[in-house]
Structure 1
């Protein structure tokens, strides 16, 4: 299963009430200007090989980018939602990477945050 699909399933299974939608790879056209919902976009960041020996590699680190777009006037603390999602991934065996800070979208004035998680997977050879 692709790392993006695995992350999507993890978030979908938990059903966090503040999240109105979870999207993989891209945002549907009708959601691009939506400022009334909070949604998550999950995309691939990279895949790096690891654990080298005998002229081969035996592990891959699968990194994904997670962006949370917040509704214009949330009735919850965006930082607490971010931390909840980070803890969810941490407890599922993902390594929390760089978090880029909260920013405002220049087109919609929505608050959003971007962070990265990665997971090591052993290869079968």
Structure 2
């Protein structure tokens, strides 16, 4: 399973009422200008192989970009939500590799957050 799909399942399976929907790779056109929902977009941002000395590899680390587009009328503590989300991901063996500053989308005026996570998968006889 693609790392982005696995992360979507993991986040969707946990109760994060702040997130209305989680998308992978791109946002549907009808969602792009919707400012009434907080949505998350997951995109691949890199993959790295863990190499053996005999030109083989035993694991793969996938890095995923997590983008959050907050609804205009935010009714929850963004910092508390992001901290809870990141702590959850760490508890599920993801590493937070980078956290970017919050920005405003110039078209919708929504606050956005971007951070990156990495997850290592050990390959067994694959």
Relative to the length of structure 2, the TM-score reads: 0.94
- 2:103 equivalent to 1:103: yes
Partner of 2:81 in structure 1? Answer: 81
Residue 92 of structure 1 corresponds to: 92
**How much is the aligned-residue C-alpha RMSD, in angstroms?**
1.1
Moved over 3 A (4+): none
Greater fraction strand: 1
After TM superposition, give the deviation of residue 51 of structure 1 in Å: 3.6
Matched, 1:114 2:108: no
C-alpha distance in 2 between matches for 1:120 and 1:20: 28
Q: 1:91 Cα shift?
A: 0.6
**What's the TM-score, normalizing by structure 1?**
0.94
Structure 1: which 5+ residue stretches go unaligned? none
Q: 5+ unaligned residues in a row in structure 2: which ranges?
A: none
**Alpha-carbon distance between aligned partners in 2 of 1:81 and 1:9, rounded to the nearest angstrom:** 18
In the TM superposition, what whole-angstrom CA distance separates every residue of 1:6-65 from its partner, at most 9, and x where no partner exists? 100011101311111111111111110011110111111111112432122211111111
